[in-house]
């Protein structure tokens, strides 16, 4: 490897983000603007320059010190939108944390005298002042004159103006072991500029927020907008997982925006044809044809094999969580339940109808090629068939060996794969690699006809 400035050169395929504008001075240079995403395609004779291409495919040379390498965010649960929030600590503990005195040093804790409320603790001129934060009509206030939607908005307000407090909030006292999410996304090259994002129209509504069609620097994007600070905190884990994953059959994260006022925006590539489940239901198996259905199955399988190889478990694989691009590529999305396979898993919230029997029975978490709204234990069947079964009947029937009949017109070789995925013994159940290889064989030999 060549190097520049004492650092190892980035390998081919490395993504980087422009830190500054670069107009270029030579014909072979690749001009770019601050915030542009570039991909390294080679080194040059000069170790201070790379060969790179932009998102439009244009290639040229770029100065190494004008770009920042994009890295996966691996702080996981340590990332916090509110690193100054210390939870259930006492008044004395807060005062010890804010020692030695430093005017403007602050933290927020849960109130011990008024359960359910919060307390803002601020160091000022050698002592600590404690301000009760009360709830009123669903909003937060200190003086009952200024009201805020959440803690992040409240803290942001008082960092700009003391507004009746003993001092303006100057420096947060971070909870031990936490990392400020905005700082970490910026450091790793995933923070986007809100001023360059145009929100166009809502294209989906969910329990935790809206999905909005947007435009980021001239490119159509999908924006998951989470406005409540506690909910946004939960989605930080999803965003951090997405920074570590890159595959053509996974919906690609473009970046993250953390607003001071408590909103989190997760910006991804726009998938023009929506969810796979809606795509299938609106067109029907006969309209799409066997080759298209098989390709969707293979697309999903390749994505899951990639996760499997990289020790990630999706835990919520379903046709509703697979999106279809303009050019009919199926991509797995919604990584809210995705965790590294080695981590401790909470099975209490596992989706029953598409979780393996042993995971439900023994409270173990196994990845499974499983669906959402139907009782089939494979996404393959969800692609080929739509049918319902009462939730209480799902687990006992599957444990007793129940297997749904093959959908009308489903190729026998595909149905055989479905039945293999239903095997109760996880050691015998095919891996995603095996499924991918078998699907490729079926496709190559046109056995789906």
Gap between the terminal Cα atoms of the chain: 50
Confidence at 284, pLDDT banded by 50, 70, 90: low
Q: What is the rounded average pLDDT of the residues 318-334?
A: 90
**How high is the pLDDT of residue 285?**
59
For residues 107 and 174, give the distance between their C-alpha atoms in angstroms, rounded to a whole number: 8
Contact 84, 78 (CB under 8 A): no
Q: Burial, 159: exposed, middle or buried (Cβ in 10 Å; 0-12, 13-18, 19+)?
A: middle
- 322-324 and 330-332 strand pairing: antiparallel
Share of the chain above pLDDT 90, in %: 49
Q: How many CB atoms lie within 10 A of CB 428?
A: 8
**E runs forming strands in 233-276:** 253-258, 264-269
What pTM was estimated for this model as a whole?
0.80
Structure tokens at 1: 């490897």
pLDDT of 118 reads: 95
Rounded Cα–Cα distance for residues 170 and 168 (Å): 6
Measured distance CA(108)–CA(345) in Å, rounded: 29
For 303-312, what is each residue's pLDDT tens digit?
988 988 888 8
Tell me: pLDDT of 366 over 80. Answer: no
The mean per-residue pLDDT over the stretch 162-168 comes to 96
Catalytic residue set: 316
* pLDDT score of 396 more than 80: no
343 CB contacts (<8 Å, ≥6 apart)?
none
Does the structure show a pLDDT above 60 at 388? no
pLDDT (tens digit, 9 = 90+) per residue, 224-257? 998 766 678 778 888 888 999 999 999 999 999 9
For residue 100, whether the previous peptide bond is cis, meaning omega lies within 30 degrees of 0, is yes
| Band of pLDDT at residue 286, cut at 50, 70 and 90 | low
What is the tens place of the pLDDT at every residue in 178-230? 988 888 999 999 999 999 999 999 998 876 788 999 999 999 999 999 876 66
**224 a known binding residue?**
yes
Look at 104 and 263; give whichever has higher pLDDT. 104
Q: What is the band of 265 on the pLDDT scale with cuts at 50, 70, 90?
A: very high
Compute the distance between CA of residue 18 and CA of residue 65 in angstroms, rounded to an integer.
Answer: 9
Sequence-ordered strand ranges (E) for 193-263: 197-205, 210-216, 219-226, 253-258
- For 218, residues 6+ apart whose C-beta sits below 8 A from its C-beta are none
Q: How far is CA 19 from CA 15, 70, 217, in A?
A: 13, 11, 16
């Amino acid at each position: 490897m060549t190097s520049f400035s004492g650092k190892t050169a980035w390998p081919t395929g490395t993504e980087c983000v422009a830190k500054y504008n670069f107009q270029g001075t030579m014909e072979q240079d690749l001009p770019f603007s601050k915030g542009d995403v570039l991909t390294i395609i080679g080194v040059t004779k000069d170790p201070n320059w790379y060969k790179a291409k932009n998102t439009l495919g244009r290639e040229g040379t770029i100065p190494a010190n004008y770009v920042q390498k994009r890295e996966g965010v691996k702080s996981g649960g340590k990332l916090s939108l509110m690193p100054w929030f210390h939870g259930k600590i006492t008044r004395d503990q807060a005062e010890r944390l804010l020692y030695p005195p430093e005017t403007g040093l602050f933290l927020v804790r849960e109130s011990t005298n008024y359960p359910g409320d919060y307390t803002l603790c601020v160091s000022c001129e050698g002592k600590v002042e404690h301000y009760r934060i009360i709830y009123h009509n669903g909003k937060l206030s200190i003086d009952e004159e200024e009201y805020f939607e959440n803690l992040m908005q409240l803290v942001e307000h008082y960092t700009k103006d003391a507004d009746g407090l003993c001092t303006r909030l100057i420096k947060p006292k971070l909870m031990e072991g936490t990392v400020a999410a905005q700082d970490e996304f910026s450091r790793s090259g995933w923070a986007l500029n809100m001023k360059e994002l145009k929100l166009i129209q809502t294209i989906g509504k969910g329990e935790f927020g809206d999905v909005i069609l947007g435009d980021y620097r001239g490119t159509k994007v999908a924006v998951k907008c989470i406005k409540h600070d506690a909910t946004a905190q939960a989605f930080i884990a999803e965003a951090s997982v997405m920074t570590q994953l890159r595959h053509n059959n996974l919906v690609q994260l473009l970046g993250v925006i953390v607003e001071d006022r408590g909103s989190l925006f997760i910006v991804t590539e726009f998938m023009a044809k929506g969810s796979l489940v809606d795509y299938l239901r609106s067109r029907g198996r006969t309209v799409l044809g066997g080759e298209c259905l098989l390709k969707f199955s293979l697309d999903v399988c390749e994505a899951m094999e990639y996760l499997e190889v990289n020790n990630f478990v999706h835990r919520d694989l379903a046709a509703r969580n697979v999106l279809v691009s303009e050019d009919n590529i199926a991509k797995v999305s919604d990584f809210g339940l995705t965790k590294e396979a080695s981590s401790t898993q909470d099975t209490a919230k596992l989706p029953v109808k598409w979780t393996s029997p042993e995971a439900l029975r023994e409270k173990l978490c196994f990845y499974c090629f499983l669906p959402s709204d139907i009782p089939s234990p494979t996404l393959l069947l969800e692609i080929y068939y739509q049918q319902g079964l009462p939730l209480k009947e799902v687990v006992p029937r599957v444990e007793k060996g129940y297997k749904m009949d093959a959908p009308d017109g489903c190729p026998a070789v595909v149905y055989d794969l479905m039945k293999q995925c239903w095997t109760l013994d996880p050691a015998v159940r095919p891996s995603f690699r095996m499924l991918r290889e078998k699907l490729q064989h079926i496709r190559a030999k046109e056995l789906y006809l």
